[in-house]
Amino acid sequence: MLRLYRQEMFKLLRHRGTYFCLVLVILQNIGCAWLSDLYRQTTRTSDLWVANFASPWLITVIMIAATATTIASEVEFNTLKDLVTQAYSREQVLISKWLTMLTYSVVLYAVMLGTTFINKFMWPSNQFAVTASFPGTPSLIWQVWLASTAANFMTMWLLLSVVFLLAVKFKRGVTAASVGVVGYVILLGLSRMTTQAVDKWEFLKWNPLNLLNYPVQLITIWLPKVTHLTNNQMFIGNLGYILVFLGLGLYFFGKREV
């Protein structure tokens, strides 16, 4: 199993795109911080800082593409045979891919957090105290920053668990990545729209799209009235769906003929 994980990491580290995406996240984060400093009169920079200058959105797109590709490209390159004819089960092959994508996402988030933190000292408009209260919440700015980052990470994995489930069906990396990213944009739009449906039918509050509102809810004190879920319920719901989707992906991948 450790060997499979090493193999996956070997492939990831030898892929130029891996480093390109890391640099892209840093540039996007710094670029947004620079823009927020440029338009400091019209933006509340602490809000943008807490939101990591929108980098979680970019990382989600990167991770959807990487996740879709990690399975579909094995079919495209005919290398799935090489993986499953080793001494490991198909389930172990897929779990090694989960762990690799988890590692990559943790690294991307760490780079994002580090860059956001450095931005705090780079731009004059970011000279607010992180120990001050975050407007509209009882929490401090640094607490909201870390909590919303963690929530973003979790909802990203809710999406990735679906991508892992769907990617089993794709045969080309580019197709899988494109469908994943477009699907993500559509889902984001739908997640805002489902709030109306939740108002009408209470049971719909547990739909996965509603759970994508988790990071926003942490910094918007009135949002639970719209989503009909507490922060704890959001956490449990996200975790539950991640496990269900990953489990289903494991089941289907385990039955796959090559």
Partner 1 sequence: MENSVLSVRHLTKAYGHRQVLHNVNFDCQRGHVVGLVGANGAGKTTIMKAVLNLVKFQGVVTINGQRVGFNHHRELTHVGSLVEAPGLYPYLTGRANLELFADATATQAQRIQEVSRALEIETVLDCDVKTYSVGLKQKLGIALALVNQPSLVILDEPMKGLDPQATKALRELIVKRQAAGTTFLISSHILDELQRIAEDLVVINQGRVICNTSMREVLAQNQHFLVIKTLQEDQAVSILRIAGYRVVARHPLRVKLRGKDVVAQILRTLTDHNIMIDDVRHEDGDLEQFFLHMLDQQEAQHA
Minimum distance, C-beta of residue 14 to partner 1, in the bound complex (Å): 6
Classify burial at 117, counting beta carbons within 10 Å of its beta carbon; exposed 0-12, middle 13-18, buried 19 or more.
middle
Minimum distance, C-beta of residue 236 to partner 1, in the bound complex (Å): 32
Minimum distance, C-beta of residue 257 to partner 1, in the bound complex (Å): 5
How many other C-beta atoms can be found within 10 angstroms of the C-beta atom of residue 101?
Answer: 20
Minimum distance, C-beta of residue 17 to partner 1, in the bound complex (Å): 9
Amino acid at 225: K
Q: Which is nearer to partner 1, 15 or 40 (CB)?
A: 15
Q: Which is nearer to partner 1, 89 or 133 (CB)?
A: 89
Q: Which is nearer to partner 1, 89 or 196 (CB)?
A: 89
DSSP 129: -
Q: Which residues pair with 140 in a beta bridge?
A: 133
DSSP 133: B
Q: Which is nearer to partner 1, 81 or 192 (CB)?
A: 81
Q: Which is nearer to partner 1, 134 or 170 (CB)?
A: 170
Minimum distance, C-beta of residue 6 to partner 1, in the bound complex (Å): 8
Task: Using DSSP, state whether 234 is helix, strand or coil.
Answer: helix
Rg (CA), the chain: 20
CA 171 to chain centre: 23
Compute the distance between CA of residue 76 and CA of residue 207 in angstroms, rounded to an integer.
Answer: 33
Compute the distance between CA of residue 114 and CA of residue 30 in angstroms, rounded to an integer.
Answer: 11
Minimum distance, C-beta of residue 238 to partner 1, in the bound complex (Å): 30
Q: Which is nearer to partner 1, 69 or 194 (CB)?
A: 69
Residues that bind partner 1 (CB under 8 A): 3, 6-7, 10-11, 14-16, 77-82, 84-87, 89-91, 254, 257-258
Judge whether 194 and 210 are in contact, CB under 8 Å: yes
Amino acid at 168: V
Structure tokens at 78: 């005919």
